[in-house]
Amino acid sequence: MAYAFYRAGFAAVDVHMTDLIDGRQSLADFKGLVACGGFSYGDVLGAGGGWAKTILHNPRLAEMFISFFNRTDSFALGVCNGCQMMSHLRSVIPERRIGRASNATHRSSSKADWCRWRSLSRRRSSLPAWPEVVRRLPTRMAKAVQYSPPTSSAARPRGDALCRFAGAGDERYPYNPNGSAAGITGLTTADGRFTIVMPHPERVFRTVQMSWQPPGLGEDSPWMRMFRNARRWVG
């Protein structure tokens, strides 16, 4: 994740929760916040919820995150366990529809764990940190079927759904590996500044990370636009 942002022109800093708790770092010093996957805070169901409670139950940390989210020049991305974490912080995120009816720690309908490739269909285009041209993107799923991402059907009329599993049968396995409603696998706020996704875009931002690619892509995969768009938006 750090390298993807570095490649896009950011200075990526590895900040631990203990750095924030002990006052060694502050979110006030950063434009972007990325809650990474890779089973941050534990390879267990509900780890993201525990991560969020570490913030919400610490008044100083809660105020730090609230201040960050309410700035006009900040953005945040949550992936996998980070998706869980940010969905549990929805009460302090402006335009909190990002986590509406979130059930990000429920076991999947397939009751299986696997790691494979799936294609996502992007549903929105006016986002500062999302590919604006490519309609269908392959992405890496890592034990993703342990979770159901935020998937309320109430999200659909409001346009919260950022991306869905592509292919026939949005709600049928294996096209939809975790049983999420309408195949939704990512949500965002209306302005696109706060985004959560279950699959891992950082695991496929280089063409060599793809098991197959159309000719002529060059060194970077289409996912790299997500990170570069964020850099252009920051200015």
β pairing state of 32-35 and 184-188: unpaired
Instruction: Select which of 36, 88, 163, 202 is catalytic.
Output: 202
Residue-wise over 20-50: b if at least 16 C-beta within 10 A, else e? Answer: beeeebebeebbbbbbbbeebbeeeeebbbb
Instruction: Select which of 80, 83, 88, 163 is catalytic.
Output: 80
β pairing state of 32-35 and 115-122: unpaired
Catalytic status, residue 95: no
Catalytic status, residue 202: yes
Is the bond leading into 149 cis (omega within 30 degrees of zero)?
A: no
Structure tokens at 114: 């696997």
Catalytic status, residue 36: no
Could you give the count of Cα atoms lying within 13 Å of 15 in the half-sphere of its Cβ? 20
Residue positions annotated with a catalytic role:
80, 200, 202
